Amino acid sequence: MQITTKAIVLSSLKYGDTSLIVRALTESDGLKSYLLKGVLSSKKGKVKPAYFLPLMQLEIVANHSNKGTLESIREVKVASPYRTLHNDILKNSVVLFLAEMLGSSIHEQEQDQELFDIWNKP
């Protein structure tokens, strides 16, 4: 089933030479994991690895099978771009800490609108 939703990236992990596994908190389904095949080697693809930095706010179009497996992302758009968050070393340290804490604290794999709204403020 193809779903368009907002998402906040919690972590991304390199898988093999060309793929990423991304954990994101989505507005529609809670915590989801996505496998992005070939994203690290593609030069002209719509999905770029820079979109999946910690705590990036995205609008994604994804295929959700809801079978407990890794899902796939078809399209990505940055919902609210950051100007200095990932360039400033102090801000980046805080972002990495918050993303790690959120990733280890949130275990729900169901929709929680209030939790998503807390972290989705610009």
Residue with tokens 């099978």, as numbered in its chain: 65
Kindly report, residue by residue over 3-49, the tens digit of the pLDDT: 999 999 999 999 999 999 999 998 888 888 999 998 998 777 788 88
Print the domain residue range for 83.
2-119
Least confident piece of the model among 45-54, 55-64, 104-113:
104-113
- pTM of the shown model: 0.84
Neighbours of 112 (CB within 10 A): 16
Report how many domains make up the chain: 1
Kindly report, residue by residue over 100-115, the tens digit of the pLDDT: 998 888 876 667 777 7
CATH number at residue 59: 2.40.50.140
